[in-house]
Structure 1
Amino acid sequence: MIKEINFDELKDIYLQLSKVMPQKPIDEDELLIDYKTQQCASFHRGLELLGNAKEFLVKAKLNDDKVAIQVALVYIRVYSMNLSGFFDAFKEDADALLKSSDWPSIPEDYKIPAYYSYPVK
């Protein structure tokens, strides 16, 4: 079973870290995530739009409607790019947090402590 990711919680943690971790605070405008938007709703809307476009493609293919197939593929491309951008913003902001502070070195033999219950595999 896949666990639901609370993107709003992740966004809030990023925002908190951006204010306390960096050597100099990161300006929210320099980050890519829209910190005023509900990220979970945005993600689910993106998935819904992609799913609708996929269903459109299935129906267009059944009807052998080449114009509709082409339009559906364009929609799938656009909605996939939007979702890619959604995740890219989280990656870029993580990079900004990593680069903006003086972090301790991670030992080569570092293992995540068991009390974090982090699934390694």
Structure 2
Amino acid sequence: MLDFNRFKACLMEFLQTHGLTYADLKASHKKTGFSIWHINWKSDLNDDFKEDLDLLKNAIDLYDRALSEKDVLAAKAGLMSASIRTLDLSTSSFWSISHDLTKILNNKNFNWPSIGRSYAIPKEYLDKGISEIDQKELVDLNRIQKILIDLVRSHGVTDEELKRVNKRAKRLIWGIDLNSDFNKIFYEKLLALQIAFDGYEKASIQNDRRAARAILQRIRLINFQLYHFLSAIRIALVRVSVGERFWPSFPENYKIPAHYNYK
């Protein structure tokens, strides 16, 4: 499993050597009450990541089970829940790190060394020996891809519509190419993130600040890409879960039947 905690501990050590205390990392804005930092420094990030994955998997399981029982309302609820869980996963695990690294990398008080365009991260920091990410506890995103493809095909969504672009947002109106391999994209990004996490730890131990800065920039980018990838999947899930062409409306005060044991 991707080790967020080791990266968090290494990053926290860097911040503390530059005068930030643990209280600073947990501080909130006086006016809004929102946390200044978006990484949850006091939480077990590995457990949080696993919990978000499990909740997403449970939502997909609800959809599959409800569909097998021809319970279209519970199936719709499962897809709506999956869209929410995808948002939670993309925000808590990836957007938060990307956001905080932007703040760290732009902080002039940290006296980051300059990095020219020709600079390349030394190979010894990026372990090519890591060839795959442990997928045992990861969610199978291709289950979502299959659900989306089956729904659009069975409801007459044309290839032309799937390729249509929202010009203002500069993205597909469906968020993502539904014919792409969701797992391949997800696992490759997670592998790149794990390699970068390990590389940052090595550069920190060597006190190689140029490499550390460059690797943090890479980590920020990968997290940003993961956030947008999951956000794109969420857009597709929202379109198929709320669109009237796909499902009937919920009756007032609808609740998922108790026999699904879904919270």
TM-score normalised per structure 1: 0.80
The answer to whether the aligner puts 1:15 opposite 2:149 as a matched pair is: yes
* Higher alpha-carbon Rg: 2
Q: Does the Cα contact within 8 Å between 2:145 and 2:179 map onto a contact in 1?
A: no
> Whole-Å Cα distance in 1 between the matches of residues 179 and 240 of structure 2?
18
Shift of 1:10: 0.7
Instruction: Check if 1:48 corresponds to 2:182.
Output: no
Partner of 2:162: 28
On the 8 A contact 2:148/2:178 being kept in 1, the answer is: no
Q: Distance in 2 between matches of 1:47 and 1:64?
A: 25
Cα 1:53–1:87 change in 2 (3 A) is same
Mark the CA change 1:108 to 1:65 in structure 2 (over 3 Å): closer, same or farther: farther
Separation of aligned partners in 1, 2:222 and 2:252 = 40
Residues 11 and 33 of structure 1 are in contact (CA less than 8 Å); yes or no, is this contact kept in structure 2?
A: no
Deviations 1:46-77 (CA, angstroms, capped at 9, x unpaired): 11101111111111111111101111111101
| Structure with larger RCO (C-alpha < 8 A, sep 6+) | 1
The equivalent position to 1:105 in structure 2, one of 249, 253, 260, is: 249
Distance 2:255 2:138 in 1: 25
Change (3 A) 1:60 1:54: same
- Counterpart in 2 of 1:96? 239
Q: Secondary structure at the match of 2:163?
A: helix
Cα displacement (A) at 1:15: 1.5
Deviation at 1:108, TM superposition (A): 4.7
Are the aligned partners of 1:18 and 1:25 in contact in 2 as well (CA < 8 Å)? yes
Q: What TM-score results when the alignment is normalised by the length of structure 2?
A: 0.40
Residue 75 (str. 1) matches residue 245 (str. 2): no
Instruction: Specify whether residues 72 and 108 from structure 1 end up closer, same or farther in structure 2 by C-alpha distance, changes over 3 A only.
Output: farther
Moved over 6 A (4+): none
1-structure distance, mates of 2:215, 2:194: 11
CA-CA distance at 1:86 after TM superposition = 1.4
Between 2-11 and 58-67, the greater mean CA deviation after superposition: 2-11
* In structure 2, distance between residues paired with 1:15 and 1:101: 17
SS in 2 for 1:33: coil
Secondary structure of the residue aligned to 1:101 is coil
Deviation at 1:95, TM superposition (A): 2.4
The answer on whether the counterparts of 1:50 and 1:80 sit within 8 Å (CA) in structure 2 is yes
Q: CA RMSD in A?
A: 2.2
Give the aligned partner of residue 116 of structure 1.
260
Seen in structure 2, the aligned counterparts of structure 1 residues 25 and 70 have a Cα distance that, compared at 3 Å, is: same
